[in-house]
């Protein structure tokens, strides 16, 4: 089962504003790209020469905030009431 | 300005399809355990409209929800947004799936409340999407109605409404009291402030039963012919991919036309 | 509005709810903020709560709380590509299962906890993310949400593992990926009867299963499987730093884990209904932030109060106990009307007197020792090979078990290395 198929099973209250922002300039300088491995929701996907990012499927674990070596990531929780809503947990 | 807003609790429209199922025997949706219902999003816009009218013209907003006792939560949310009072109308004898009945019960509720200038509701509830309760109530209460409002401007004894049309909009003017159903084009419903929530937590929300509003006979009321729910099911979609073969484009096009009109691909 | 609260609690998890409950019961005017649509909406874990903390707070929890199953069977498995070795612990019970170990799902359980907080008299406000702390000359005096301000004598930060506010308040300087484990989990629905048949449990009995070995491909961590009423919680917990260093993804490891025969057999025919992830602070004492400062106390995951003994990870009981200790500290401070840093020092004293900081001290070397990757790749294989050689009958004359073990250890590990690992591990569990 693919991660995106799993995410489709979850309930999200979609936020209109991104709670994670990436500084593309700093991000482009990174060759380690730990976010691609550290994100359990595949929010960071390696495209040929850059990392493509989306926040909609975020599980709000906070891993990317810790492992970004470039400080390219601005991470906050989504606005109250938005984002992942677990039914089981 | 006395404003009454009608709100309905519905299954959270953000739920992925996998989270709920249908009891086909009883034609009912089985709500997912643990995920609370929400205020129907159009009704939230109706509350927003009421709040903006109040901010401009002053007045008092009463929120009414017909449904299960759990509807208290959506009424409380409306109070948190800024409404002044809330009422839940609930009785085990009510058949909540019948729009005429719902309109009748709500009309009785309005009569008990007494004074009103404006009744607002969402253009439709997002569960059944019928959008008829407001207009039926207008008939029962013998007041004018405007549906699909995208802008509302009240003056002393009348109201001017911009209605959404398929190809633009039209402007109507009605005498008050009146009923308006509000469309999403009106604007975004505000998010309750934290102080609003704290204030709402302490509010008393009465629950009115059939007896309280004189609707004990509701079930026996004639249903003037609204459609009845026959079968409730989750549609299944199947996708198939097939490559047609042929030498020339003309041949392929002919094969494609044939395929499209064949029984296999025609929709049932 | 100018209403002032005695205490504001940030976060509606076990730490926050326990503290709000205790304070409200003692008559304090308490406000709790939770950022989820409901308490529990953002919370997940492996599955089981070990310890008497819940019973102390809610003596009737057995009847009231949404407990999935009580743990009556606990297994520990070494997984290798060739097979597995399992220790299966099943105390023979007479009467109802012990309530020291029970399995709950956090979205349901935390919602119940928050209900208890409301019943105790506190105000619970959901869907509210606290943006900042209010500061007055280094003293925390309340919180800010957007443009709204809320003042209180004390703020208890039970905001969870990411500790954003604790960092803003300067209580914590940031965390390293080496001190964090990432947990990913699937909830897999299965009929109740199927679960009871497959796991050899009845009624409210349940199984907790831990796996160590090749399932994490050498990354410190392990797999787990817990039985809920009508579903299984299946997941992987891995050290975040090592995970990304090895260019592995937890989501891939979880898929592999589900394919191990030991696991595949148990989840067969199940339907995944939810996928979630969370961080776990596993750095122990060394990553613990400053626990309090004037007007503010930190509890639960935000204070890194999680104990990893190598066998299991415990957090929720530490969270609750720390929440209670923080609450008691605030209650005393309120009596003296002194919320200075010195007055709140009681918090640390209570944690030391109880089990929370004592356990953290007892196991303070464990996080470092658990980084020995031989635990995850080499030793499970050695155990398996020794047993394989002992149990195998190849028609040739047999060798004594200790000789077999000696030979495998000599070729695979080396005695010196085994001894030094064992010597180190004596400090561990």
List the subunits that have 3+ CB pairs under 8 angstroms with B: A, C
Please list every residue in chain A whose beta carbon sits closer than 8 Å to the beta carbon of residue C273: 9, 87-88
Please list every residue in chain B whose beta carbon sits closer than 8 Å to the beta carbon of residue A12: 14
Cross-chain CB nearest to C123 (options B34, B193, B201): B201
The answer to whether the Cβ–Cβ distance between A8 and B16 falls below 8 Å is yes
The answer to whether the Cβ–Cβ distance between B193 and C148 falls below 8 Å is yes
Compute the nearest-CA separation of B192 from chain C (Å): 9
Better-predicted residue by pLDDT, C397 or C304? C304
CATH 3.50.50.60 fits C5-66+105-173+289-354, yes or no: yes
Question: Considering chain B, what is the average pLDDT of its residues?
Answer: 92
Helix H or strand E segment including C77: strand C67-79
For domain C178-281, give the CATH number: 3.30.9.90
3-state secondary structure B172-211: EEEECCEEEEECHHHCCCCCCCHHHHHHHHCCCCCEECHH
Radius of gyration of chain B (CA): 23
**pLDDT in the model for residue C319:** 96
User: Is a pLDDT exceeding 70 seen at residue B263?
Assistant: no
**pLDDT in the model for residue B268:** 44
Task: Give yes or no for a cis peptide into B177 (omega within 30° of 0).
Answer: yes
Confidence of residue C2 (pLDDT cuts 50, 70, 90): low
User: Is a pLDDT exceeding 90 seen at residue B235?
Assistant: no
The strands making up B118-122's β-sheet, listed across from edge to edge, are B168-175, B158-165, B145-154, B178-182, B118-122, B2-7, B60-66, B85-89, B207-208
Block residue for tokens 């593992």: C161
Please list every residue in chain A whose beta carbon sits closer than 8 Å to the beta carbon of residue C275: 3, 6-7, 9-10, 59
User: Is a pLDDT exceeding 50 seen at residue B138?
Assistant: yes
Helix H or strand E segment including C76: strand C67-79
Whether B223 and B98 have beta carbons less than 8 Å apart is answered as yes
Helix H or strand E segment including C401: helix C401-412
- Selected from 3.40.50.1980, 3.40.50.1970, 1.10.260.40, 3.40.50.620, the CATH number assigned to the domain covering B2-220 reads 3.40.50.620
User: Is a pLDDT exceeding 50 seen at residue C58?
Assistant: yes
Share of chain A above pLDDT 90, in %: 82
Nearest to B55 by CA among B78, B82, B18, B29: B82
Would you say the ipTM is above 0.90?
yes
Better-predicted residue by pLDDT, B221 or A62? A62
Backbone angles phi, psi at C123, to 5 degrees: -95, 125
pLDDT (mean) for C180-186: 97
The residues pairing with C148 across neighbouring beta strands, listed in sequence order, are C145
Q: Is A56 on the interface with B (CB under 8 A)?
A: no
- Beta strands C180-189 and C205-213 are unpaired
Q: Is B30 on the interface with C (CB under 8 A)?
A: no
For A3-84, which CATH class?
Answer: alpha beta
User: Is a pLDDT exceeding 70 seen at residue B233?
Assistant: yes
Q: What is the pLDDT of residues B43-84, one digit of tens each?
A: 999 999 999 999 999 999 999 999 999 999 999 999 999 999
pLDDT (mean) for C195-217: 94
> What does C150-193 look like in DSSP terms, one character per residue?
EEEEEEEE---TT-HHHHHTTS-----GGGEEEEEEEEEE--HH
Residue C93: both structure tokens together: 């019970």
- Domain residue ranges of chain A, discontinuous segments joined by +: 3-84
Confidence of residue B225 (pLDDT cuts 50, 70, 90): low
Distance from first CA to last CA of chain A, Å, rounded? 19
Instruction: Residue count of chain C, please give it.
Output: 429
- Domain residue ranges of chain C, discontinuous segments joined by +: 5-66+105-173+289-354, 178-281, 369-425
Q: How far is CA A36 from the centre of its chain?
A: 9
Residue C156: both structure tokens together: 């208890």
Q: Cα–Cα distance between C207 and C71 in angstroms, integer?
A: 5
User: Is a pLDDT exceeding 60 seen at residue C36?
Assistant: yes
Q: What is the pLDDT of residues C139-177, one digit of tens each?
A: 999 999 999 999 999 999 999 999 999 999 899 888 899
Task: With a cut of 70, list the residues of chain A below it in pLDDT.
Answer: none
**pLDDT in the model for residue C400:** 85
The answer to whether the Cβ–Cβ distance between B35 and A87 falls below 8 Å is yes
pLDDT (mean) for B162-173: 96
Nearest to B95 by CA among B6, B210, B207: B210
**pLDDT in the model for residue B134:** 96
- Give the angle C306-C172-C138 at the CA atoms, nearest 5°: 130
Whether A12 and B14 have beta carbons less than 8 Å apart is answered as yes
Share of chain C above pLDDT 90, in %: 77
């Amino acid at each position: 089962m693919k991660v995106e198929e799993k995410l489709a099973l979850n309930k999200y209250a979609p936020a209109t504003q991104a709670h994670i922002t990436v500084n593309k300039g700093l991000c482009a300088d990174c060759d380690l790209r730990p976010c691609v491995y550290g994100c359990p929701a595949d929010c960071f996907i390696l495209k040929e020469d850059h990392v493509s990012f989306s926040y909609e499927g975020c599980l709000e674990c906070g891993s990317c905030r810790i492992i970004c070596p470039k400080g390219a990531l601005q991470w906050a929780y989504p606005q109250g009431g938005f984002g992942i809503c677990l039914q089981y947990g | 300005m006395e404003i009454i807003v009608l709100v309905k609790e519905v299954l959270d429209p953000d739920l992925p399809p996998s989270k709920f199922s249908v009891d086909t025997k009883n034609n009912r949706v089985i709500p997912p355990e643990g995920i609370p219902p929400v205020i129907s999003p159009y009704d939230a816009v109706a509350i927003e409209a009421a709040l903006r009218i109040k901010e401009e013209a002053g007045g008092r907003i009463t929120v009414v929800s017909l449904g299960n006792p759990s509807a208290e939560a959506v009424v409380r949310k409306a109070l948190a947004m800024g409404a002044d009072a809330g009422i839940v109308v609930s009785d085990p004898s009510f058949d909540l799936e019948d729009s005429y009945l719902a309109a009748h019960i709500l009309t009785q509720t309005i009569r008990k409340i007494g004074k009103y200038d404006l009744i607002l509701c969402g253009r439709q509830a997002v569960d059944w999407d019928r959008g008829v309760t407001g207009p039926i109530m207008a008939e029962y209460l013998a007041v004018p109605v405007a549906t699909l409002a995208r802008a509302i401007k009240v003056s002393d004894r009348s109201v001017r409404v911009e209605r959404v049309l398929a190809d633009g909009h039209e402007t109507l003017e009605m005498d008050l009291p009146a009923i308006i159903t509000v469309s999403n084009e009106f604007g975004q419903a505000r998010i309750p402030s934290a102080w609003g929530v704290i204030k709402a937590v302490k509010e008393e929300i009465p629950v009115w039963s059939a007896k309280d509003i004189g609707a004990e006979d509701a079930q026996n009321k004639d249903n003037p012919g609204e459609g009845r729910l026959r079968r409730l099911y989750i549609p299944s979609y199947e996708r198939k991919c097939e490559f047609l073969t042929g030498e020339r484009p003309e041949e392929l096009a002919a094969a494609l036309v044939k395929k499209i009109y064949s029984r296999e691909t025609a929709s049932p | 509005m100018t209403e002032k609260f005695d205490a504001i609690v940030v976060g509606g998890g076990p730490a926050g709810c326990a503290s709000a409950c205790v304070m409200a019961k003692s008559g304090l005017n308490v406000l709790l903020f939770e950022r989820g649509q409901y308490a529990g909406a953002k919370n997940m874990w492996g599955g089981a709560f070990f310890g008497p903390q819940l019973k102390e707070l809610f003596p009737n929890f057995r009847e009231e709380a949404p407990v999935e199953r009580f743990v009556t069977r606990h297994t520990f498995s070494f997984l290798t590509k060739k097979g597995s070795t399992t220790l299966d612990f099943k105390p023979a019970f007479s009467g109802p299962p012990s309530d020291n170990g029970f399995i709950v799902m956090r979205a349901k359980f935390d919602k119940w906890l928050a209900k208890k907080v409301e019943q105790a008299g506190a105000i619970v406000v959901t869907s509210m993310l606290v943006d900042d702390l209010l500061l007055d000359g280094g003293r925390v005096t309340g919180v800010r949400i957007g443009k709204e301000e809320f003042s209180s004598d004390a703020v208890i930060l039970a905001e969870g593992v990411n500790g954003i506010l604790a960092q803003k308040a300067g209580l914590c300087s940031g965390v390293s990926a080496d001190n964090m484990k990432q947990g990913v989990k699937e909830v897999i629905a299965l009929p109740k009867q199927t679960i009871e048949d497959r796991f050899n449990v009845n009624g409210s009995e349940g199984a907790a299963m831990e796996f160590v070995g090749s399932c994490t491909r050498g990354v410190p961590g392990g797999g787990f499987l817990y039985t809920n009423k009508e579903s299984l919680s299946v997941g992987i917990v891995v050290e975040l730093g090592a995970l990304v260093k090895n260019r592995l993804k937890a989501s891939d490891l979880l898929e592999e884990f589900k394919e191990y025969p030991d696991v595949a057999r148990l989840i067969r025919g199940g339907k995944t209904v939810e996928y979630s992830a969370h961080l776990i602070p596993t750095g122990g004492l060394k990553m613990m932030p400053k626990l309090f400062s004037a007007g503010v106390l930190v509890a639960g995951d935000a204070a890194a109060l999680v104990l990893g003994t190598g066998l299991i990870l415990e957090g929720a009981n530490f969270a609750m106990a720390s929440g209670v200790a923080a609450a008691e500290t605030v209650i005393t401070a309120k009596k003296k009307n002194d919320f200075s840093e010195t007055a709140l020092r009681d918090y640390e004293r209570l944690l030391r007197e109880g089990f929370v900081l004592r356990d953290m001290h007892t196991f303070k070397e464990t996080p470092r020792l658990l980084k020995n990757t031989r635990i995850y790749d080499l030793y499970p294989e050695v155990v398996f090979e020794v047993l394989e050689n002992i149990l195998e009958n190849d028609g040739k004359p047999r060798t004594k078990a200790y000789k077999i073990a000696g030979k495998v250890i000599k070729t695979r590990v080396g005695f010196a290395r085994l001894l030094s690992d064992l010597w180190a591990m004596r400090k561990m569990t």
